[in-house]
């Protein structure tokens, strides 16, 4: 009986410890230390994103890329660190087309004016990404705050850990599982491709040199491929921008999934979702369901993603002034 009692006490203590760790990330974390913080972020986003709606897609992409490397700690923003020099995540191939860094710094500057050294850059990215999607008509999700900023940023880690547009199913499943995300999260978060644009180099191998012998990816709809070759990426070296969800790239809707089922997903990673019966089934269910259902599922997956390996409490730091300095 004594053993059972001690086991019970141990389990209770463990629950308390785990609860305490989780409590560090909570809704309205800045209620006392910077009560206007979230309103300042939302106000800036609501004022500027409608004038540049394409930024919403780049900001949620930045958030995604940040969270997949060392957790959601704003390490993607750093230009230089003592350990990696200027070879930070920002210069890694997956991040070379990221935009919106100046937007994040302008928001951080406003917050520093209101309450210096309080709000982390990691929370700025998380809040800005959510608010930018909402103001363009997309889904809302809860963003608990209290993240702290990381001081380590390596280009090699970003190259290895950010899911690539040319990833096959096994690669994607592994990279997501490494971050505690499942196959449903993979499908749901890929739905963010419903907005924004891509650059030709991220998919032209599918058009011109899929297996290294000048061939085309057979999993890509031939009519769509011909259109891309004729009107968008006229050579393998083209740098043109292409809508990821043609005709609907400014609207957060289910159109992306319909295109994937028609073999018109732009990336190999989009096509990879059809190579598993599990992920294909998720897509079929989403297309048959309502937009509200998609929004609800997207919110759940985003809430999981924006809590990946967060630094809280005394871990990490709060960057002062600008977000790109260690």
- Residues annotated as catalytic are 65
Residues 6 or more apart whose Cβ sits within 8 Å of residue 67: 179, 305, 306, 308, 309
CB 199 within 8 A of CB 132: no
* Separation CA 254–CA 224 (nearest Å): 19
From the annotation, which residues make up the binding site for heme b? 193
User: Tokens standing for 189?
Assistant: 């978060």
From the annotation, which residues make up the binding site? 66, 69, 71, 73, 75, 89, 163, 193-194, 245, 253
From the annotation, which residues make up the binding site for substrate? 163
Give me the helix-helix angle, 183-190 and 169-177, nearest 10°: 110
Q: Is the dihedral of CA 37, 41, 44, 47 positive or negative?
A: negative
* Separation CA 4–CA 58 (nearest Å): 53
Helices (H), 191-307: 205-208, 222-231, 255-261, 268-272, 277-288, 291-305
């Amino acid at each position: 009986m004594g053993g059972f009692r001690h086991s019970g006490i141990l389990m209770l203590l463990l629950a308390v410890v785990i609860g305490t760790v989780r409590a560090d990330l909570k809704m309205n974390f800045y209620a006392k230390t910077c009560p206007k913080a979230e309103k300042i972020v939302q106000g800036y986003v609501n004022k500027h994103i409608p004038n540049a709606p394409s930024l919403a897609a780049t900001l949620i992409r930045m958030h995604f890329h940040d969270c997949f490397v060392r957790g959601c700690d704003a390490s993607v923003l750093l230009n230089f660190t003592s350990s990696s020099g200027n070879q930070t995540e920002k210069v890694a191939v997956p991040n070379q087309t990221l935009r919106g860094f100046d937007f994040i710094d302008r928001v951080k500057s406003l917050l520093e004016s209101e309450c210096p050294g309080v709000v982390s850059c990691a929370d700025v990215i998380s809040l800005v990404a959510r608010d930018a999607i909402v103001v363009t008509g997309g889904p809302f999700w809860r963003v608990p705050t209290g993240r702290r900023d990381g001081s380590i940023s390596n280009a090699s880690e970003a190259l290895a850990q950010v899911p690539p547009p040319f990833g096959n199913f096994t690669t994607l499943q592994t990279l997501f599982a490494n971050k505690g995300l499942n196959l449903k999260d993979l499908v749901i978060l890929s739905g963010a491709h419903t907005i924004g644009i891509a650059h030709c180099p991220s998919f032209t191998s599918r058009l011109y040199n899929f297996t290294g012998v000048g061939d085309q990816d057979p999993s890509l709809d031939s009519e769509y491929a011909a259109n891309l070759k004729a009107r968008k990426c006229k050579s393998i070296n083209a740098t043109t921008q292409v809508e990821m969800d043609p005709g609907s790239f400014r609207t957060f809707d289910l159109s992306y999934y319909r295109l994937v089922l028609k073999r018109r997903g732009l990336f190999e990673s989009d096509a990879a979702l059809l190579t598993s019966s599990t992920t294909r089934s998720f897509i079929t269910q989403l297309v048959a369901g309502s937009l509200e259902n998609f929004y609800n599922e997207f919110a759940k997956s985003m809430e999981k993603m924006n809590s990946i390996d967060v630094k809280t409490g005394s871990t990490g730091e709060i960057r002062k002034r600008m977000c790109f300095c260690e």
